[in-house]
Amino acid sequence: MGMKLARQIERGARVTVRAENEALNFVLGAEEEIDDGMIDRTDVAAGNSMTNIPPGYLAREIVKETVSGAVRLHAPLPRLGTSADIRLEFARGRLKTWKSEENQEWLDALVRMLPEEHRTFSDIVVGLNPSLNYGYAQDRLVEGAITLFGMFQGTTRKGSLEVNGRLLVEEGKLVV
Position 98 confidence tier, pLDDT thresholds 50, 70, 90: very high
The three-class DSSP label of residue 168 is strand
Position 80 pLDDT exceeds 70: no
List the domain range (segments joined by +) for residue 23. 2-174
163-173, pLDDT tens digit by residue?
A: 999 999 999 99
Label residues 78-117 b or e (16+ Cβ within 10 Å = b). beeebbebbbbbbeebebeebebeebeebbeebbeeeeee
Cα(70)–Cα(8) distance, rounded to whole angstroms?
Answer: 23
Asked if residue 174 lies in contact with residue 161, where contact means CB atoms within 8 angstroms, the answer is: no
Q: Which amino acid is at 123?
A: D
Q: Which residue has the higher pLDDT, 87 or 55?
A: 87
Determine the average pLDDT of the residues in 128-140.
82
DSSP 75: S
- Number of structural domains in the chain: 1
Round the average pLDDT of the chain to a whole number and report it.
Answer: 88
| Pairwise CA distance, residues 12 & 148, whole Å | 17
Answer with the residue of higher pLDDT: 32 or 17: 17
Q: Is the pLDDT of residue 101 over 70?
A: yes
Has residue 63 got a pLDDT over 70?
Answer: yes
- Residues 6 or more apart from 117 whose CB is under 8 A from it? none
Q: Is the pLDDT of residue 49 over 80?
A: no
The residue type found at 151 is M
Helix (H, G, I), strand (E, B) or coil at 8: helix
